Structure 1
Amino acid sequence: MAADKDAAFVLPRGATGLFQSKDGPPPEVDRRTFRTALYAAARAAKGQVGRVEEQAHPRSFHTATVVARTGEDVILCHAHHPWIAFAEELRDWYTDEFLTPPPWAHVFADLGFEVLDRVRLTTPLTDVDTSVLTQGERRDIRFYGITTLGGVLFNSWD
């Protein structure tokens, strides 16, 4: 059954990349699966994998590029949940600089990732279920002025 694109996005534990040690670390996306999907996507794009950078504190995501005749695509992979996004350029954090996924993005979905489109990522936080966020996460959202779902998911907060 297809997911309802109009349904509220529910943020699970680990969505911000922040966690309290007493709760234990959030889940981790398998890096090997991401790399497998990345190389399959590059083949589907008739291109090659460019730069790959694994998540490092405080960033909440891995980054990669696929270089093809049509240009370079920037891919973001959340470090704790199997979410994929596409962006205009490589950065340490994002708010609303997301792109519509290219036609070959289905390769990520075929390998178990959820490809988030620009509309979903620029959804205002007022339309997102944030009930699991801790007080500290809410404080960081206010401090950094984050107002979109994508800003919460693809961040570099300390």
Structure 2
Amino acid sequence: MDGSRGIFRLGRGVTGFRSRDDLPLPDIDPKECRSAWHAAARSADGDVGDFTEREYPQGFHVATINDRHGTHIALFHAHYPLVAFVRDKLYVYRTEFLDPPAWATTLGGFGFVVLTAADLLSPLGEADGSALSQAEWRQIKHWRPETLGAALFNSWD
């Protein structure tokens, strides 16, 4: 799923939407996110600041690590093992994505894909959306996310 290795393929349900007739969305256990985040904090020689589980309609959990370089904020996708880094805690993300710190590679050992700013800021139209459901396409048409990151880490209701 890492766009830096080719066209980013959007899995069904990655927007957090489905129709009543669709199968339930996969869920990433917040405990798995927390375990990976604590390991990342050890790699960063830092401390876990907080971990906030998603609240509807957000499709992501928010976590912080404090190290000698400051505070790092990560978004853990609620349905797919995707992680994005941002500068500030916001309710909505469109173009606020950052490149991950070097220690974020630790998350890969836990099965997470850490996305780069280039991945997240790429135009949504460049991604392969062939697996998305009709319900997801309706939401995309309504909310009009311009970037891949805005579609993945959304707070649509």
Say yes or no: TM over 0.5: yes
Q: Which residue does 1:26 correspond to in 2?
A: 25
Q: Which residue does 1:123 correspond to in 2?
A: 122
RMSD across aligned positions (CA) = 1.5
Deviation of the 1:4 alpha carbon: 7.3
Q: Which residue does 1:40 correspond to in 2?
A: 39
Runs of 4 or more above 6 Å deviation: none
Q: Which residue does 1:84 correspond to in 2?
A: 83
Confirm or deny: 8 A CA contact 2:13 2:133 kept in the other structure: no
Of structures 1 and 2, the one scoring higher in RCO (CA 8 A, sep 6+) is 2
Q: Which residue does 1:147 correspond to in 2?
A: 146
Q: How many residues align?
A: 156
2:140 and 2:13 mapped to 1: Cα distance? 14
Q: Share of identical aligned residues, percent?
A: 42
Q: Which residue does 1:136 correspond to in 2?
A: 135
Q: Which amino acid aligns with 2:148?
A: L
Structure 1 unaligned blocks of 5 or more: none
Q: Which amino acid aligns with 1:132?
A: A
Structure 2 unaligned blocks of 5 or more: none
1:90 and 1:142 mapped to 2: Cα distance? 26
1:111 and 1:32 mapped to 2: Cα distance? 12
TM-score by length of 2: 0.93
Q: Deviations over 1:81-129 (max 9, x none)?
A: 0001101111122111100100100110011100111001111112101
Q: Which sits farther off after the overlay, 84-93 or 147-156?
A: 84-93
1:55 and 1:22 mapped to 2: Cα distance? 24
